[in-house]
Structure 1
Amino acid sequence: MKPSIFLFLAILTGSMGCSVGPKPIDYGRVGCHYCSMTIVDKQHAAQLVTKKGKVFNFDAVECMMNQLKEEDESTIGLLLVNDFDRPGELVDATKATYLISENIPSPMGAFLSAFSEEQAAEHTLEANGGKLLTWSELKEQYNQ
C-alpha cells in the first residue's frame, strides 16, 4: 500500500473512536457523575457528552446543572435529559421545557422534570401545579 492509504486508514480509524452522541444509561448499575448515587429513575436522568465523546451520566437534571458550573462550556458537545413522558428517552436539554412541581419528586429533591414537548409540560403543569422554565431560565436559576 502507498503511504497515503496508510494515512487515510489511520485518520478513518481514529475518527471512528470519538463519536459524539448519546450513550444508553445502564440504569441500576451506573452512578451519577456529580453525586455518585446509582441512577435508577428513567424519568429524571441526564447526560453530558463532551466534544471528544466522553459521557457523564447524572441521576437528575439538577445534578447535571450543578456539574455545569464546573465545566468549560467550550468542551461540551451535547446536553441531554430524559423526557418525563417517555421514560429512558434522552432529548436535547437546550430545547426541552422544564417543570418544577412539588407534586413530582425528582431524585435529588429539586422537583425538576424535563419535557421534549412544551404542550406535554403544560398539561402536566395543569394537573400538578408548579412553574415552567425554558433552558435559559433554568440555567439562570442554577447560576445564581
Structure 2
Amino acid sequence: MKKIISLLILMFFIFISCSVEPKVIKYGDDHCFHCDMTVVDKTHSAQYVTKKGKAYMFDAVECLTMKINQENNERDLAFILVADYITPGKLVDAKKATYLISKKIKSPMGANLSAFFDKKIADEYLEKHGGKLYTWNSLKQHFSK
C-alpha cells in the first residue's frame, strides 16, 4: 500500500512539473529569441510557449511575429502572448489582441507596433496617434512581406 501511495505521489509531482504554462519574463535578463536583444520594454515584449512547455521571449511583438512566420510553427505553440500596451508587463493572448502600427508610438525594433487587449482602446490610440490597425492574422501577413 505504501508503494502505491508513493508511486501516486511521484506521478502527481511529475504531472505538475510537466504542465505547459507561460513563464515570467525576466526583464533585463531574458534575451529575444529572434534578434538576441535584451528584453527590457514591458509595453512591447512577447512570448511563445511550445506544446512541450519551452518558453521563448521576445523584445518586441514584431520579433515574435517574424519568428513565427520564419519557423511556420504556430500549430506547435500552446501560448502566443503579447504585452498589452496600456498595462505594461501584462501578457495577453496574441490572437485576441488588436495591433496598431503608428509612427508616433515607438517600439524596440522600429516597427512602431503595439498590442492592445481592448479594441476600443486601440481605436482611441488610432484616432489620437494615427496609423493602421491589424488583427493577429493580418499582422502575420503584414510581416511576411
What is the TM-score when the length of structure 1 is the normalising length?
Answer: 0.92
Q: Which residue of 2 aligns with 1:67?
A: 67
Bigger shift: 101-110 or 12-21? 12-21
Aligned-partner Cα distance in 2 for 1:140–1:122: 21
Aligned-partner Cα distance in 2 for 1:73–1:86: 25
8 Å Cα contact 1:22-1:90 kept in structure 2: no
1:1-144 correspondence runs (5 A)? 1=1, 4-68=4-68, 69-144=70-145
8 Å Cα contact 1:98-1:135 kept in structure 2: yes
Per-residue deviation, residues 5-59 of structure 1 (Å, max 9, x unmatched): 4543333222111222222211112111111101111100000011122110000
Structure 2 unaligned regions, length at least 5: none
Aligned-partner Cα distance in 1 for 2:137–2:22: 22
Aligned-partner Cα distance in 1 for 2:122–2:75: 30
Q: Report the Cα offset of residue 135 of structure 1.
A: 0.8
Per-residue deviation, residues 73-111 of structure 1 (Å, max 9, x unmatched): 332000000000001100000000000001111000111
CA RMSD of aligned residues (A): 1.5
Bigger shift: 116-125 or 13-22? 13-22
Bigger shift: 24-33 or 127-136? 24-33
Aligned-partner Cα distance in 2 for 1:52–1:6: 26
Secondary structure in structure 2 of the residue aligned to 1:137: helix
8 Å Cα contact 2:66-2:140 kept in structure 1: no
Secondary structure in structure 2 of the residue aligned to 1:42: coil
8 Å Cα contact 1:46-1:59 kept in structure 2: yes
Report the AA paired with residue 79 of structure 2.
Answer: L
Instruction: Using the aligned pairs only, state the percent identity.
Output: 51
Report the AA paired with residue 19 of structure 1.
Answer: S
